Amino acid sequence: MNVPALSGRLRGIAALALLPLLALTACGSGDGGTAAVGAQVSPAPTGDPVASVRKVDAVAALLPADVRRSGTLRVGSSIGFPPGAYYPNGPDEAPAGQDIDLTDAVAKVLGVRLQRQDASFETILPALGSGKYDVGTGNFGVTTERLRTIDFVTYVNDGQGFAVRKGDTALKKVTDLTQLCGLTVGTGAGTTFETTLTAHKGVCAKAGKKPYDVKVYSENAATLTALQQGRIDVIMSTINGLRYQASQPAARTTFLGEYHRLDVGFAFKKGSPLTKAFRAAVNELIKDGTYARILKKWGTSDSAIETSRINPPEHA
C-alpha cells in the first residue's frame, strides 16, 4: 500500500493502543480499556510457586493478638505494571506479578486472609498513617525521607533507572543527572524518581547547562505515551519495570541501565506491630526456596536479597 503517511499513522495508533499495558511508571492502577490487549501482550508466566506454602505457627505467633483473632489484613495495593503487579486479563480478573505472589505467600505463612484494595501509588503511604490499610505494596523504595513516617520490611532490591525511545542514541547510559540537562524527563507522581529529580534540579545550573524539565504523570499509560509521541525525551522508573518494558516489542523502548539501587519493601505506618511478623515470614520464604522460585518466575532473580530487614538505611 503506497500511502506512507497513512500507514505510518496506523502503525502509530496500533502501537499506542498497547501502551497502557506497557506503561511502567509505578504510580497507578491498570487501564480497564486495554484488558483484552493486555492478555495478548503481557500474559502472566505459568506456574504457581505459592501453592505449596503453608502456615508456620512460630511465625504466625508474632502477629498482634487482634490480627490473629480476625485473621485478616487490609492491603493497599498499587496494580499497574509488570513484573511487579498488573492485570494480565483485565481489571475484572485477579492481578498477577511478583508483588502479588510475595504478598500472597507471606499471608499463607502467617495464616491470614488478605483484603486487597487497589489504590493509586501516591495515595497508599498517607493512607497507612490514617489506618485505612494495614500494609501497602507497590514497589515502594526505602528512602531516608520515607523512613521518617513509614516502616518497611524489605523483600527485593530494585531501584531507579532510565529508558528512551528505541533508536534514540542521544543517551547511552545515565550515571550523572547532568546528562539529562536540556531534556524533558517523565516520571510517576509521588515516586522516589520524582523526589530525586526535583531535589537535584540545580545540578545543571551549577554545570553551566540548560536545566532538565520534569513532567509528572499519575496514570501509567500517560508516561509511555508521552515518550512515544516525543513530548518527553526519557523515562525514569524502576529497574525491573523498565527492563521488562524494553523486552516488549510494542513498547519500543531501550533500557539505559541502573542509576541507583534501592531496597524495596512492604510499607507500614510508623511503629506498626506487624513488621516483625512480616520480616520473619519473608525470611521463612527465603529459607524454604519459595522466594527464589517467585523471583525466577517473574525474571527478577537479580533483585534477590539474602535476608529481610526492618527499616534498613537508604543505599548511599
Contact 241, 298 (CB under 8 A): no
pLDDT of residue 264: 97
pLDDT at 46: 84
Give the pLDDT of residue 220.
Answer: 66
The predicted pLDDT at position 144 comes to 94
pLDDT of residue 222: 87
Per-state percent for the chain, helix, strand, coil, to nearest 5: 40, 20, 40
For the chain (length 316 residues), average pLDDT per consecutive 10?
36 40 37 30 81 98 98 94 90 94 98 96 94 96 95 96 95 95 94 94 96 89 91 96 90 94 97 98 98 96 97 92
Look up residue 44 and give its DSSP letter. Answer: P
Give the pLDDT of residue 81. Answer: 81
Distance in angstroms between the alpha carbons of the first and the last residue of the chain = 55
Q: What is the per-residue pLDDT for 42?
A: 62
Q: pTM of this prediction?
A: 0.82
